[in-house]
Amino acid sequence: MEIDFILKILLAAMLGGIIGLERELSHKEAGLRTNILIAIGSTLITILSFKIAALSKTADPARLTAQIVSGIGFLGAGAIIQARFAVHGLTTAATIWTVAAIGIAVGSGYYLVAFLVTIFVVLVLTVFKFLLAYMEKQKQNYIYLISTEEKASLLVDVRQVLTELNIRYSSARLNRKEGGYEFEIILSTSENKNRDFIEKIMLIKGVKEVLSENL
d(CA 10, CA 174): 54
Strand order in the sheet with 207-214: 168-177, 180-189, 140-149, 207-214
Give the CATH fold of the 140-214 domain.
Alpha-Beta Plaits (3.30.70)
Question: What's the Cα-to-Cα distance from 77 to each of 10, 90, 114, 132, 168, rounded to whole Å?
Answer: 27, 9, 24, 24, 22
Contact 198, 210 (CB under 8 A): yes
Strand 168-177 and strand 81-83: the pairing is unpaired
Alpha-helical regions (H) of the chain: 2-25, 32-54, 61-79, 90-108, 111-137, 153-165, 191-203
3 state SS of 56: coil
- Asked if 148 and 207 count as a contact pair (C-beta separation under 8 A), the reply is yes
Closest alpha carbon to 108 in 54, 56, 57, 44 = 44
pTM, two decimal places: 0.63
| Interacting residues of 202 by C-beta distance below 8 A, sequence separation 6+ | 210
For each of the chain's 215 residues, which pLDDT tens digit applies? 578 888 999 999 999 999 999 888 888 777 889 899 999 999 999 998 888 777 777 777 777 777 887 778 777 676 666 544 455 678 888 888 999 999 999 999 999 999 999 999 999 988 887 777 666 666 677 788 888 877 767 777 877 888 888 777 777 777 777 777 787 888 777 777 777 888 888 888 888 888 776 65
- Angle, nearest 10°, between helix axes 153-165 and 191-203? 150
For residue 149, how many other CB atoms are within 10 A of its CB?
Answer: 12
What does the domain layout of the chain look like in residue ranges? 2-135, 140-214
Distance CA 144, CA 133 (A): 24
Predicted local distance difference test score (pLDDT) of residue 85: 47
